Structure 1
Amino acid sequence: MSYCLNPHCPKPENPTDVKFCRTCGSKLLLKERYRAIKPIGQGGFGKTFLAVDEDKPSKPRCVIKQFYPQSQGANSLAKAVELFNQEAVQLDELGKHPQIPELLAYFTQENRQYLVQEFIDGQNLAQELAHKGAFSETQIWQLLNDLLSVLQFCHARHVIHRDIKPENIIRESDAQRKLVLVDFGAAKSATGAALNQTGTSIGSPEYVAPEQMRGRAVFASDIYSLGATCINLLTVRSPFDSYDTNNDTWVWQQYLKTPVSNQLSRILNKMLESIPIRRYQTVDEVLKDLNQQSQVAATSAIAAKPLPQSPAKSPPTFVSPSPSQIDLELEQMKTQFLGSNKPQPNKIQPPIPTSGPSSTNEIDQELEELKAKYLGNNNS
């Protein structure tokens, strides 16, 4: 299907093989190569469409963002134009990171502005939360490690994202399963003069830092939003519902599906400090704490691991001889005894003691008694 990008077209659906809308006559291909398939989103500044790049043999999918602000005031329109242009400029630089969508094109057609960017195939974390339930502590550690490096890259280029939330984090569906940070439409340049100006409050209120609500976003504002994202994923509750306004404190631990370690709680609570100066000031500070906790966990695991021990020596076991062995040994004793009583040639035999056995029958009888006694002792 081809989808007409004219916002006023009453019937935008068209067959794939046509180049002009059958209803309004608008061109269906942008820059003679990008064909919209269906709308996938709409915000305050425009609409988003899933599209195909017809210029490449593999016809890869991409995303078309059309600048179409909903507000009509002159000031609002000027701000929307500024933000849309700014997103294109920032994506051109930031899209070099493997976890940020690449900017493919930026242009004006039929008096409307467009940008085309890489399509990220996967679910965002809000969808993942709805399908799979609360995140585990291990998943949160991994999320922090994955996304803090992306924020580090952005902040190093003086860009504050300003709209970090589960909906703007996509887990790729390929084998690598990387987390990708999307939607830089609210991103703000944090160069010199811009840092000292009070701007417009932009972002999703549930995840926005207090100073950003007042139009004074700083690098630490992104850290706050990432912390709020983590507690949403852990509790399956809005961050608003995890804050006690009467006592001005976070109570998200009360709503955990599974308890988390003190180390993770401490890091998240510092990310969520409402007063910016008490919060982590830079991503590097958070990463330092994360690495320290990883080292402590690894050391604890090694200390807790039992040392290999040699197998305990078992006491020697006595194996009783079988009855056949006893018979054989007694027979040998009998032979030796009788043999010693055989007369030797040319020798005078000493008198046989009267106290000893006087015949073969007596010897047999004594040996039988000895055998019975031996077996009886071993069976008791």
Structure 2
Amino acid sequence: MRRWSLENFDIGRPLGKGKFGNVYLARERQTKFILALKVLFKKQLEKAGVEHQLRREVEIQSHLRHPNILRLYGYFHDASRVYLILEFAPKGELYSELQRCGSFSEDRSATYIMELADALNYCHSKKVIHRDIKPENLLLGANGELKIADFGWSVHTPSSRRSTLCGTLDYLPPEMIEGKTHDEKVDLWSLGVLCYEFLVGKPPFEAKSHEDTYRRISRTNVSAGAKDLVARLLKHNPMHRLPIQGVLTHPWVVECSTKNLLPVNISLSL
């Protein structure tokens, strides 16, 4: 594997700020290749006791190859910082886009859900559970395609950050809140929450109870097909959730999505 250093890059404008550092637009000097450079401060990582987690996340993300997963090309470090060399997603954060639009159309929502389900299906086949699927961790590529950007290392622009209570908690499945063992089905729950938020503009669990959530979605002017998908994913018992393959073949997803998926192993440059 190539050895990188800061000398290899021209650094451009900041793309985002986070708890442990910043992300910058950058260009590899030799090839002029545009990318994103995530700079994390070792002191802050150590203080939070998360170096092991970083190592694990880097290990995971560097081995994933999927059009809807942000590529991690490599990494290097110096005395005080760790640098992650990442794919640049020109259209920015999905969360900002959702805030701008208020909510998404059914076609757009179904397309994102299909892209996300395809990426998660790929992750799960590699025994990777994401556990933190939410709009803040999703970016948009040059053609508006969705990219899972964060395997445990959220870096946000301050304006698009939620407080923990109405943020990640909305996306936590019951088995994680209850401290039970969990598997890849946690990502199915998050997919249901995400689908609801795309269509309605806010997450469902600001409601007081699950019954309240179902009442809330039944009151919205969302199509029967979309309601059916959300209801099948937001099952308290993980075993009862619609499996990821079922999401990809769900009539609403198939009919409304504007994307016909290529099998992942087909080179997109063919």
Q: Is the pair's TM-score, using the shorter chain for normalization, greater than 0.5?
A: yes
Across the two proteins, how many residue pairs are aligned to each other?
A: 240
Matched position secondary structure for 2:73:
strand
CA offset at residue 244 of structure 1? 3.5
1:263-274 alignment, distance < 5 Å: 263-274=225-236
| 1:179 matched to 2:143 | no
Instruction: Tell me how far apart the structure 2 counterparts of residues 98 and 271 of structure 1 sit (CA, whole Å).
Output: 24
**Among 208, 211, 215, which residue is 1:251 paired with?**
215
* Structure 1 residues 177 and 32: alpha-carbon distance in aligned structure 2, compared to 1, 3 A threshold: same
Instruction: Tell me how far apart the structure 2 counterparts of residues 163 and 250 of structure 1 sit (CA, whole Å).
Output: 23
CA offset at residue 57 of structure 1? 4.1
Instruction: Please give the per-residue CA displacement for 1:328-379, whole angstroms capped at 9, x wherever unaligned.
Output: xxxxxxxxxxxxxxxxxxxxxxxxxxxxxxxxxxxxxxxxxxxxxxxxxxxx
Instruction: Tell me how far apart the structure 2 counterparts of residues 238 and 289 of structure 1 sit (CA, whole Å).
Output: 21
Q: Radius of gyration: which is bigger?
A: 1
Quote the sequence identity (%): 28
Instruction: Please give the per-residue CA displacement for 1:104-148, whole angstroms capped at 9, x wherever unaligned.
Output: 222221143322111111132221122222212222222222211
Partner AA of 2:150 in structure 1: D
Partner AA of 2:34 in structure 1: P
Q: Is the 8 A contact 2:35 2:86 kept in 1?
A: no
1:1-380 alignment, distance < 5 Å: 30-44=5-19, 46-68=20-42, 70=44, 77=49, 80-94=50-64, 96-172=65-141, 174=142, 176-185=143-152, 204-213=168-177, 214=179, 216-241=181-206, 243-245=207-209, 247=211, 249-253=213-217, 256=220, 259-280=221-242, 282-290=243-251, 294=255
CA offset at residue 250 of structure 1? 3.0
* Structure 1 residues 72 and 90: alpha-carbon distance in aligned structure 2, compared to 1, 3 A threshold: closer
Partner AA of 1:288 in structure 2: T
Q: List alignment gaps of at least 5 residues for structure 2.
A: 155-166, 257-270
* Structure 1 residues 113 and 123: alpha-carbon distance in aligned structure 2, compared to 1, 3 A threshold: closer
> Which has the bigger relative contact order, CA under 8 A and spacing at least 6?
2
Q: Is the 8 A contact 2:94 2:136 kept in 1?
A: yes
Matched position secondary structure for 2:249:
helix
* Structure 1 residues 246 and 211: alpha-carbon distance in aligned structure 2, compared to 1, 3 A threshold: closer
Structure 2 length as normaliser, TM-score?
Answer: 0.77
* Structure 1 residues 145 and 247: alpha-carbon distance in aligned structure 2, compared to 1, 3 A threshold: closer
Instruction: Please give the per-residue CA displacement for 1:193-212, whole angstroms capped at 9, x wherever unaligned.
Output: xxxxxxxxxx9211121212
CA offset at residue 61 of structure 1? 3.3
Q: Tell me the equivalent position of 1:347.
A: none
* Structure 1 residues 261 and 91: alpha-carbon distance in aligned structure 2, compared to 1, 3 A threshold: same
Structure 1 length as normaliser, TM-score?
Answer: 0.56
Measured on the aligned residues, the alpha-carbon RMSD in Å equals: 2.9
Q: Tell me the equivalent position of 2:261.
A: none
* Structure 1 residues 269 and 168: alpha-carbon distance in aligned structure 2, compared to 1, 3 A threshold: same
